[in-house]
Amino acid sequence: MTKRRLPIGIQTLRKIREQNCCYVDKTPFIEALVDGGSRYFLSRPWH
């Protein structure tokens, strides 16, 4: 098993895939957020 690098600083899915970086699709969690609560703070790392 080879280690994939993290896509730090890469902004597009195309580049993430081309460079074989690690990517986790969190799309299934959207439904839980919409159905399960009222307010959320979703932060992104600052670089």
Q: What is the DSSP string of 1-47?
A: -PPPPP-TT---HHHHHHTT------THHHHHHHHH-S---------
Burial of 32 (0-12, 13-18, 19+ CB in 10 A): exposed
pLDDT for position 47: 58
**What confidence score (pLDDT) does residue 30 get?**
84
Calpha distance 27→46 (Å, rounded):
22
- pLDDT of 46: 67
pLDDT digits (tens, 9 = 90+) for 23-42: 988 888 888 888 887 788 87
